[in-house]
Amino acid sequence: MWTKETLQSLIKEKMSDYLFIVVSNREPYIHTYEGEETKCIFPASGMVTALDPVMKSCGGVWVAHGSGSADRETVDEKGHVRVPPEDPRYTLRRVWLSKEEENKYYYGFSNEGLWPLCHIAYTRPVFRREDWEAYVAVNQKFADAVLEEIGGRKAFVFIQDYHLALISRMIKEKNPNCITAQFWHIPWPNREAFRVCPWQDDILHGMLGNDLLGFHIQYHCNNFLDTVDRGIEAKVDYERFQVMRGGKTTLVKAFPISVDYSDIAEQCGRPAIEAETKRLIKEYDLRGQIVGFGADRIDYTKGIPDRLRAIDIFFEKNPQYQGKVSFVQIGALSRIHIPQYKEINDEITRMAVDINYKYATGHWKPVHVAKGHFGRLTLEAMYKLSRFCVVSSLHDGMNLVSKEFVAARTDGDGVLILSRFTGASRELTDAVAVNPYAADDFADAVKTAIEMPPEERQKRMARMRETVARNNIYRWAAKIISELLKFEFKEI
């Protein structure tokens, strides 16, 4: 069983003379102004949820975009701030982007291009030359910041996600001694889908600058190998899961990401949870109710309208549950400058209003939708007080809400309704599996979850808890670090 401590000893023993650098677009701690005050928030990001505990135990430097309104006020002259603010364990190096760079690189190429390209959620990707040019320039900016941090040292650079597909080559051009790994937190689509990208060759070439490329599941690795095999000049070795291009070898492997199971379980036992539970019951009028819960970034890939449609059909087909079941959906606003995100946000509000108009009586409301930023305390209290949690993504690399819910259920109870189109559904086979596109079946799954006998709930939850406890975030990091250690450090 991997723990914080065993990961720490692995790093101490094997990596002590290496600098460990994580680089991502999203930063783990965002400083913002609230009136006169400065506040530090933890973003709604599966990537951050997974990597922050790893950095807390490894130490090192995390290079990321400084996106908060008070970020510049809280760093030193090198753009450094020690985090977490209440118990500093590692250094955050912020990279500054202009509004124009952010618009074209982040909103444009990354999130209007690559995001819909990689998620099969039937949203058309948009590719603009100026967005691509900004993407290249911003990748170079991140690479330069990483090189500055490395100085002359030996380093492992661990690159996160689709925003930074080009930086491994940019880093290695100037410092060939670095060992780089990249983890792609979103799905990799099949070759047919990917080949519409006008800059597919550059992206594949960039990614193949890495020594190691990680995806959540083997299916995404296979799609990637097939995309390379049929798309560019390279030798693909399907036996060893390797790609050779221009004398360089990249290992492609699946590493299912996870959460800090023991920390979540510990946090869920603290007394503050009880007070928060009481507050939430009061706020949403949940006394005596069977509670269903969903927590997502508001994104068209998460299947939130499909979930609300299923709830609507459930009440229509099962009027005996009207007045007895309440569904609470919390949503973190996300990428709101992109038209599809504005639309999905409005659609969710409209649907909740319509469902409530249709069924609400007296004090009872079938659906509560709360939007904004929600801290760990609220999330964990909601996980604990709910009978069932719904994750209904149309397509999702992994989905860590499902694993957080399981880790939070220290009482061994609760039912997870989980989309078949998430990476997590490969591991959490004791969830009630749904196809979010099949509204009637989805509504029946809600009924199944509600009516599942307690012994059955507990049996399934025990098995899922065992899986998440074993395949925790420290195991994920240890597996990647162990792979990296196989790459010999080559002096020039």
How many of the chain's residues bind ligand F6P (CB under 6 A)? Answer: 11
Q: Which is nearer to ligand F6P, 336 or 462 (CB)?
A: 336
End-to-end CA gap in the chain: 38
Instruction: Tell me which residue has its CB nearest to ligand F6P.
Output: 45
Q: Which is nearer to ligand F6P, 46 or 108 (CB)?
A: 46
Angle between helices 400-408 and 376-385 (to 10 degrees): 70
C-alpha atoms less than 13 angstroms from C-alpha of 394 in its C-beta half-sphere: 18
Tokens for 297, please give them.
């970034």
User: Which CA distances in Å does 15 have to 18, 19, 64, 366, 485?
Assistant: 5, 8, 23, 53, 8
For the CB of residue 186, give the shortest distance to ligand F6P in the complex, in Å: 5
Alpha carbon distance 142, 164 (integer Å): 8
Q: Which is nearer to ligand F6P, 29 or 327 (CB)?
A: 29
To which residue do tokens 């444009």 refer? 108
Residues 244-303 that bind ligand F6P (CB under 6 A): 297
Tokens for 7, please give them.
């990961």
Q: Which stretch binds ligand F6P (CB under 6 A): 42-50, 317-325, 375-383, 454-462?
A: 42-50
**Using DSSP, how many helices (H) and how many strands (E) does the chain show?**
18, 18
Residues 139-178 that bind ligand F6P (CB under 6 A): 161
C-alpha atoms less than 13 angstroms from C-alpha of 324 in its C-beta half-sphere: 10
Q: Is 360 exposed, middle or buried (0-12, 13-18, 19+ CB in 10 A)?
A: middle
Q: Which is nearer to ligand F6P, 184 or 199 (CB)?
A: 184
Amino acid, res. 238: Y
Q: Which stretch binds ligand F6P (CB under 6 A): 41-49, 85-93, 133-141, 150-158?
A: 41-49
Going by C-alpha positions, the residue among 432, 337, 427 that lies closest to residue 99 is: 337
- Angle at Cα 362 formed by Cα 359 and Cα 366, nearest 5°? 35
Q: Which stretch binds ligand F6P (CB under 6 A): 44-52, 132-140, 243-251, 301-309?
A: 44-52
- Residue of 4, 141, 335, 465 that binds ligand F6P (CB under 6 A): 335
Quick one: CA torsion of 312, 313, 314, 315, rounded to 10 degrees? 60
Q: Categorise residue 288: left if φ over 0, alpha if ψ from -120 to 50, beta otherwise.
A: left
Alpha carbon distance 47, 481 (integer Å): 17
Contact yes or no for 22/51 (Cβ under 8 A): yes
Verify binding: residue 71, ligand F6P, rule CB under 6 A.
no
C-alpha atoms less than 13 angstroms from C-alpha of 99 in its C-beta half-sphere: 2
Verify binding: residue 31, ligand F6P, rule CB under 6 A.
no
- Residue of 7, 10, 22, 47 that binds ligand F6P (CB under 6 A): 47
Q: Which is nearer to ligand F6P, 194 or 284 (CB)?
A: 194
Verify binding: residue 402, ligand F6P, rule CB under 6 A.
no
For the CB of residue 62, give the shortest distance to ligand F6P in the complex, in Å: 12
For the CB of residue 194, give the shortest distance to ligand F6P in the complex, in Å: 17
To which residue do tokens 């808890």 refer? 465
Interface mask (CB under 6 A) for ligand F6P, residues 429-468, using x and -? ----------------------------------------
Tokens for 96, please give them.
């500054």
Q: Which is nearer to ligand F6P, 186 or 461 (CB)?
A: 186
- Residue of 334, 340, 386, 425 that binds ligand F6P (CB under 6 A): 334
Verify binding: residue 185, ligand F6P, rule CB under 6 A.
yes
Alpha carbon distance 310, 313 (integer Å): 5
Q: Which stretch binds ligand F6P (CB under 6 A): 3-11, 45-53, 275-283, 357-365?
A: 45-53
For the CB of residue 270, give the shortest distance to ligand F6P in the complex, in Å: 26
Q: Which stretch binds ligand F6P (CB under 6 A): 40-48, 141-149, 210-218, 420-428?
A: 40-48
For the CB of residue 363, give the shortest distance to ligand F6P in the complex, in Å: 35
Q: Which stretch binds ligand F6P (CB under 6 A): 5-13, 46-54, 128-136, 451-459?
A: 46-54
Q: Which is nearer to ligand F6P, 335 or 403 (CB)?
A: 335
- Residue of 7, 23, 186, 352 that binds ligand F6P (CB under 6 A): 186
Verify binding: residue 26, ligand F6P, rule CB under 6 A.
yes
- Residue of 23, 45, 169, 427 that binds ligand F6P (CB under 6 A): 45
For the CB of residue 68, give the shortest distance to ligand F6P in the complex, in Å: 12
Interface mask (CB under 6 A) for ligand F6P, residues 106-135, using x and -? ------------------------------
Q: Which residues pair with 455 in a beta bridge?
A: none
Residue 178 CB contacts under 8 Å (≥ 6 apart), including other chains = 150, 155, 156, 157, 171, 172
Contact residues: ligand F6P, CB under 6 A: 26, 45-48, 161, 185-186, 297, 334-335
